Amino acid sequence: MTDFHNLEDWLEWIDELSDKHYVVVDHFLSQPLYTTLKNYFVEHQELFTQAGIGSLDNHQVRTKIRGDKTYWLDANRDVDLNSFWHLVQETKNVLNRYCYLSLSGHEFHLAHYPPGGHYARHLDQFEERSNRMITMIVYLNDGWKTGDGGELEIFEPDKSLSLIQPLGNRCVLFKSGVVPHAVLKSHKDRYSLTGWLTYQPKGLAWI
Ligand SMILES: O=C(O)CCC(=O)C(=O)O
Ligand SMILES: [Fe+2]
- Cα of 122 to ligand 1 centre, how many Å? 9
Strands, E assignment, 20-131: 22-25, 49-50, 69-72, 105-113, 119-122
Q: At what angle do helices 31-43 and 82-99 cross, to 10 degrees?
A: 120
What element of type H or E holds 37? Answer: helix 31-43
Strands, E assignment, 29-176: 49-50, 69-72, 105-113, 119-122, 132-139, 152-155, 161-164, 171-175
- Domain boundaries along the sequence of the chain: 7-51+65-201
Residues 33-60 have pLDDT tens digits of 999 999 999 999 999 998 877 666 666 6
Confidence class for position 207, pLDDT limits 50, 70, 90: very low
Q: What sign does the CA torsion over 200, 33, 5, 141 have?
A: negative
What number is the ipTM of this complex? 0.99
Give the global pTM.
0.93
pLDDT of 1 strictly over 70: no
pLDDT of 196 strictly over 80: yes
Report the pocket of ligand 1 as residue ranges, CB < 6 Å: 111, 119, 124, 137, 152, 181, 183, 192, 194
Residues at Cβ < 5 Å from ligand 2 ion: 124
Ligand nearest to the CA of 170: 1
Question: How many other CB atoms are found less than 10 A from the CB of residue 68?
Answer: 23
Ligand 1 nearest-atom number relative to CA 172? 3
- Cα of 124 to ligand 2 centre, how many Å? 5
Q: What pLDDT score was predicted for residue 159?
A: 87
Question: Apex CA 41: angle with CA 154 and CA 116, to 5°?
Answer: 50
Residues 109-137 have pLDDT tens digits of 999 999 999 999 999 987 666 799 999 99
7-51+65-201: which CATH topology? Answer: Jelly Rolls (2.60.120)
- Cα of 75 to ligand 2 centre, how many Å? 21
Residues 71-80 have pLDDT tens digits of 999 999 999 9
